[in-house]
Amino acid sequence: MSKPTIEQLLDVSPCEYSEGLPIEQFIDPVIHQMWPQMPRIAGPAFTVKCGKGDHLSLHAAIYRAKAGDVLVVEAGPDYANTGGNVCAIAKQRGVVAMIIDGFIRDIAEIREAQFPIYARGVMPKPGVKEQMFPLNQPIKCGGVTVNAGDYIVADEEGIAVIPKDKLTEVYKLAKARTDKDASMNLADWKVQHSKKVESKLQELGYSD
């Protein structure tokens, strides 16, 4: 099987990627969608590390990321790391989304611009611009080690981080699960589910 396209990745929910990924590849759900009904996003990770209370690395990254990239950011749990104007520029340049292990501000502007962003929450006070870290280095975001070029698939269900060297393998497993579920109606699923549950209860010696 050839490497899946972004469109193919978008056709599969993060739930189904769990078929091929351990829980360690799913970003902590405290990092969540920051406006309702955000579309599913997918793309390669452009990784960014920010110093405590400092957002220079992220503000530099919006001018260096390529169209189609997802900015994935390791940041501090204090000041806001980005706001409306920075997100507007990122969107203009084709950045797909931001995933920030930290806080943001100007949420109304970001929501109005329909720019997909995931974060821990909102903080009115911005950080400073004093520290610059190398871009596209391994980072930690929501407990997950993310390398530049790993693939991100995210929606309201959560954020999957797919190692770039396992992309095809993981997608194949996820797509197979998607196709299997799509081919089965609720009545058929109920029969299989009931059999599986009752078999396990019998194995455990459980009786009502």
207 located within any domain: no
> Band of the pLDDT at 73, cuts 50, 70, 90?
very high
Collapsing DSSP to helix, strand or coil, 21 comes out as: coil
140 located within any domain: yes
As a whole number of angstroms, the distance between CA 15 and CA 4 comes to: 18
> Band of the pLDDT at 181, cuts 50, 70, 90?
confident
165 located within any domain: yes
Residues 6+ apart with CB under 8 A from 186: none
Of 106, 117, 86, 102, give the one whose Cα is nearest residue 52.
Answer: 102
* Prediction pTM value: 0.93
Percent pLDDT > 70 in the chain is: 100
> Band of the pLDDT at 208, cuts 50, 70, 90?
confident
117 located within any domain: yes
For residue 137, give the CATH number of its domain: 3.50.30.40
157 located within any domain: yes
Binding-site residue numbers for substrate are 83-86, 105
189 located within any domain: no
Element (DSSP H or E) covering residue 159:
strand 158-162
- What is the per-residue pLDDT across 120-162, written as a single tens digit (0 to 9) for each? 999 999 999 999 999 999 999 999 999 999 999 999 999 999 9
Binding-site residue numbers are 83-86, 105-106
Binding-site residue numbers for Mg(2+) are 106
Range(s) of the domain holding residue 116: 6-179
As a whole number of angstroms, the distance between CA 33 and CA 180 comes to: 28
Residue-wise DSSP of 180-193: HHHT--HHHHHHHH
206 located within any domain: no
Percent pLDDT > 90 in the chain is: 92
As a whole number of angstroms, the distance between CA 202 and CA 191 comes to: 16
115 located within any domain: yes
What pLDDT, on the 0 to 100 scale, is given for residue 10? Answer: 98
Specify the number of domains making up the chain.
1
- What is the per-residue pLDDT across 19-32, written as a single tens digit (0 to 9) for each? 999 999 999 999 99
Residue count of the chain: 208
What pLDDT, on the 0 to 100 scale, is given for residue 77? Answer: 83
